[in-house]
A and B are shown apart, each in its own frame.
Chain A
Amino acid sequence: MANRVHIPTNNSALIAMIADEDTVVGFLLAGVGNVDLRRKTNYLIVDSKTTVKQIEEAFKEFTTRSDIAVVLISQYVANMVRFVVDSYNKPIPAILEIPSKNHPYDPAHDSILSRVKHLFSAESVASRH
C-alpha cells in the first residue's frame, strides 16, 4: 500500500460520509458537501441497491484521501464492512460510527469501543495484579 500523505498541520480538511439518504442530505445542508474537478464527491449514499463492494471501495477511498480528516459512517453500514472498519487503526481520518434513522447506535458494535473493551476483561485485570 502506498504511504499516505499526512494532512499538513492547520490545513482545512473535509468530512466524508457513507450513510443513508436522509443523513447525507442533512449534512449536505450543513455545508459539508464537496465535489472536485473530477466530479468526485466526499459522500456515498447507501440505499437498498448499494453493494458491499461499493461501500468497501468508498471506505478505502475516503481513508486514503489526504484531504479527508473525518469519515462518518452509519453504524449499520459499518456492520456490512465490519472487517475493513475494524482493521483500520490510523488516527486520521477519524472513523466515527453514527446512528441512522432505522438503526439506533449500539456501543457493542462500535469499533473504537471494541478495541478498548479488553481493558475491562477479567484476563487483563488479573494480569495486572
Chain B
Amino acid sequence: MEVVDHKTHNLENGQAAEEEEEVDENANVLQFMDSMDAYLTLIHSLSSNLRQGWLELASARHSMGAYRVNTVLLDHTSHPAATSLLVDEGKEPHFTLCKWGSSGNEKLFLGEEQSSRDKSHPEIRRRGATQLSEEKTTSENKASCEIDDPVQKERSKSLSVFGTLVSPKLRDAQLSFETALETLVEIANRRSEMLCAFDKVNKKSGGSKD
C-alpha cells in the first residue's frame, strides 16, 4: 500500500511539474508575441515620424536653398554627441535616451518634453482668468524656462551648422527627428525583450524535441 501511495504521489508531482512547465512556456510565448506586436507597431510609428521629418527637411531646403542644407556644411571638428544612450547591460539590455546633455539630466529630458508638448499645444489665454491661476502659470513657465535654456542652447547649436537664421521648418524637422529617436530607443528595448523571450521559447522547444 505504501509503495502504491508513493507511486501515486510521484505521478501527481510529475503532473504538477509538467503543468507548471506548460504555464511557463505559454507565458514565454505570450511575452514573445507581445514584444513582437509592440516592435511592429513602433516601426509603423517610426515610419510616420521619419516621413514627417523628411517632409519638413525638404521644406527647409526649399526655403533656405539646397546649398544651405546639405552635408558639406557638417561640422567635422572634434565634438561629442549631445544626445546619447545609457545602456544597462544585463540579461536583457535596456537603453535610455539622454537628449541634449550628459547623464543626470533626466530632469532636463522630462522637463523639456513637457515644455515641447506645451509649445505644440499652446493654450488660449482666457479673459477674466483668476490672478491665482495666472501666478501659478507664471511660476510653472519660469521653472520650465530654466530647464529649457540648456536644452534650447544645445538645439540652437545643432541648428547653427546650417547658419544663424534658419527656416522654422528646419526647427520642426529637428523636433520630428527627436521624436523618431525616442521611438527608436523604444524599438531597441522591444527588440531586446523579443530576443530574450525568443531564446526562452527556443530553449523549451529544443528541450522538448530531445
Contacts and interface: CB of A to CB of B under 8 A. Distances in A.
Interface size class of A (residues with CB under 8 A): 35 or more
A10 interface: yes
Interface in B74-113: 74-90, 93, 95, 98-100, 102-103
Q: Is the interface of A mostly helix, strand, loop or mixed?
A: mixed
A95 to B, nearest CB: 9
A96 B154 CA distance: 26
Interface residues of B, number: 66
B194 A116 contact: yes
B85 A14 contact: yes
B86 A10 contact: yes
B83 to A, nearest CB: 4
B84 A15 contact: yes
B167 interface: no
Contact of A12 (B69, B86, B192, B205): B86
A11 B188 CA distance: 17
Contacts of A45: 71
Contacts of B159: 29
User: Which 8 pairs from chain A and chain B are nearest by CB?
Assistant: A31-B82, A31-B83, A34-B81, A26-B177, A12-B84, A30-B177, A29-B174, A94-B188
